[in-house]
Amino acid sequence: MEFEIHPQPPFNFDLSLRYYARSRFEAVDTVHNGRYYRLFEAGGKTYPVEVRSSGSIDKPRLIARILKGSPGKKAQNVIVDYIKTVFRSDYKLNRFYDFCKNDNILSELSDKYYGLTNLQTVDLCEILVWAITGQQMSLGFAYKLKRRLVKKYGSKHYIDGRPVYTFPKPEALAEAKTSDLLKMQYSKNKADYIKGLASLVAGRKIELEKLREFDDNKVRELLLSIRGIGRWSCEYAMLRSLGRDDACPSGDAGLRRALAENYGLDKKSSEKEIENFMERFRPYRGMATYYLWFGLLENKRID
């Protein structure tokens, strides 16, 4: 069963996929031979999906194929909507590129990475757990922790003989034993934060999906009220799951390094100094961050 999706041009599928191809430990959003694979849940069932490109940057065309199972029409629509969200198919990247013309560095980056799209994680709980996992540690080790987490609490499927996992449901994480998370090398604080967040979501004490309806300030207010979600995690989640172009993770070490390399900022600049510097990129502080990040990560694999 196949579906066609036509993202707004420009859209560079291969370039955008490099984000998920960074680490061999990525087990949820996987890339193999230039194709994207993920397990999507719809109608109470799990479907392995492959997405490939058959178009060009200026005439993008994605082919999504359900590899196993026969979902009904409603489930098909859910899966297609998920894929459209992941690849931001309605996003008008040229508006950001028009903005980039005002800054020499961003102008160079937008030319170099023409069509690069900030791929999204559909489930906000998932991205928040990932953000908590990655707080104050190397990205390589964070990927190892994530893989241990999904192997323990997600469900395992095979796609062409390769294992792919669903991200754990909040209910599973809420009931996880702290001792098991500690064995995975999560800190006690991070284990508590993940279990607490999952309990809030599983118990419907917070409805994360409703945040999509709120403005940036309201989203920040609600996310920052969750124990374990600080400013960096909040801004990161807004950028990577809510598509908020002006989210600004000013405490990010990678952003600090990128600004030092590209704009000559002091490598020891404070979060406040970086936040002040990033004001020049409103209302695209998040997109500017993403392109600066990509410049650091290009051609690097995080193991």
Instruction: Encode pLDDT of 124-145 as tens digits.
Output: 999 999 999 999 899 999 999 9
CA–centroid distance for 115 within its chain: 17
Q: In terms of residue numbers, what domain contains 81?
A: 2-90
Question: In this structure, which amino acid lies at residue 255?
Answer: L
Minimal CA–CA distance to 185: which of 143, 128, 127? 143
DSSP-assigned beta bridge partners for residue 2:
65
- Residue 300 has what pLDDT? 62
Whether pLDDT at 298 is above 80: no
Whether pLDDT at 299 is above 70: no
| 170-198: pLDDT as tens digits | 999 999 999 999 999 999 999 999 999 99
263 domain residue, yes or no: no
What integer is the mean pLDDT of 96-113?
97
Gyration radius from the chain CA atoms: 19
CA distance linking residue 180 with residue 186, whole number of Å: 9
Contact 6, 60 (CB under 8 A): yes
Q: How many CB atoms lie within 10 A of CB 259?
A: 24
26 domain residue, yes or no: yes
Contact 93, 117 (CB under 8 A): yes
| 36-92: pLDDT as tens digits | 999 999 999 999 999 999 999 999 999 999 999 999 999 999 999 999 999 999 999
Contact 143, 19 (CB under 8 A): no
The tokens for 23 are 């680490």
35 domain residue, yes or no: yes
Whether pLDDT at 303 is above 80: no
181 domain residue, yes or no: no
| 224-280: pLDDT as tens digits | 999 999 999 999 999 999 999 999 999 999 999 999 999 999 999 999 999 999 999
Q: Give percent of the chain with pLDDT exceeding 70.
A: 98
43 domain residue, yes or no: yes
For the chain, the maximum distance between any two Cα atoms, rounded to a whole number of angstroms, is: 56
292 domain residue, yes or no: no
DSSP E strands in the chain: the ranges are 2-5, 30-32, 35-42, 45-53, 62-66, 156-159, 162-165
- Residue 149 has what pLDDT? 98
Q: What is the CATH number of the domain that holds 33?
A: 3.30.310.20
Q: Burial letters for 183-192: b for 16+ Cβ neighbours within 10 Å, e otherwise?
A: ebebeeebbb
The tokens for 100 are 């980039």
- Residue 185 has what pLDDT? 98
- Residue 163 has what pLDDT? 92
Whether pLDDT at 301 is above 70: no
Whether pLDDT at 26 is above 60: yes
Provide the number of structural domains found in the chain. 1
150 domain residue, yes or no: no
- Residue 297 has what pLDDT? 82
CA–centroid distance for 161 within its chain: 25
Contact 190, 146 (CB under 8 A): no
Q: Rounded to a whole number, what is the distance in angstroms from the first to the last CA of the chain? A: 35
pLDDT band for position 160 (50/70/90)? confident
Beta-carbon-side half-sphere exposure of residue 259 (alpha carbons within 13 Å)? 26
Question: How confident is the prediction for the chain on average, in pLDDT?
Answer: 95
**Cα-flanking dihedrals φ and ψ of residue 92, to 5°?**
-95, 90
209 domain residue, yes or no: no
| SS3 state at 34 | coil
The tokens for 149 are 């987490």
Q: Give percent of the chain with pLDDT exceeding 90.
A: 94
